[in-house]
A = this chain, B = another copy of it.
Amino acid sequence: MRKFIVGVMGAGEDAEEGAKEMAFRLGGLIAREGWVVLSGGRQAGVMEEVNRGAKQIAGSLTVGILPTAQAAVSDYVDVVITTDMGNARNNLNVLSSDVVVACGTGGAGTVSEIALAIKAKKPVILLGTDRDSKAFFQRIGKAAVHTADHPEGVIARIKTIKG
C-alpha cells in the first residue's frame, strides 16, 4: 500500500517568482502520477505553491512536515506532521522522501536538505538551480545529483530513477 513520495524543498518567504511558478506546476504533475507531495508544509513560497498545485488534481495527497506547532500551515496540506524540532526536521523531510527535488536556488535551509539527502544516499534533482550551485552539489553528491530545467524534466527523471 506504501505510496511513492516526492519531497519538494525550496525557499519560504524568500522564494523567487520563478521558483514558485515551477513549484505550482510540479505539484500538479507529481499528483497526476499518483505520487505523494511531501514538503516543509508552511504557508509560504515553494511549500505553499507545490501543495496548491497538487490540490488542483482530484485524488492528490499532500504531506507537510512542520518545524513547529506554531508555524502557519499551508491550506493545501492534507496530512500535517508536527515535529516541534525546528530545522532538525529537515533530515526527516529527506529520509521520508523517495526522491528529493530542490526547486529554485533556495537558501540555507534548502542547502541543508540537499546535503542531508546526499548524506542519506537519496536521489536529488535540482530544478532551476543556478550554475554555481549545481557544480557545487554535483562535486559533493556525484551521480546521485541530477538536474532539470523545467517540471516536466523532473517527472521524466524520476521515472528513470524508479526504473
Contacts and interface: CB of A to CB of B under 8 A. Distances in A.
A124 B66 CA distance: 22
Interface stretch (A16-24, A25-33, A78-86, A151-159): A78-86
Interface string A138-156: 0111000000000000000
Contact of A1 (B75, B81, B87, B96): B75
Q: How many identical chains are in the complex?
A: 4
A107 B73 CA distance: 31
Contacts of A87: 84, 91, 116, 119-120
Interface size class of A (residues with CB under 8 A): 35 or more
A2 B77 contact: yes
Contacts of A161: none
Contacts of A83: 85, 88, 92, 95
A36 interface: yes
18 contacts: A1-B77, A2-B75, A2-B77, A3-B78, A3-B79, A65-B81, A80-B96, A82-B92, A83-B88, A83-B95, A84-B92, A86-B91, A88-B90, A108-B116, A108-B140, A112-B115, A132-B132, A133-B136
Interface of A: 1-3, 5, 36, 55, 61-63, 65, 69, 73, 75-92, 95-96, 107-109, 111-112, 115-116, 118-120, 132-133, 135-136, 139-141
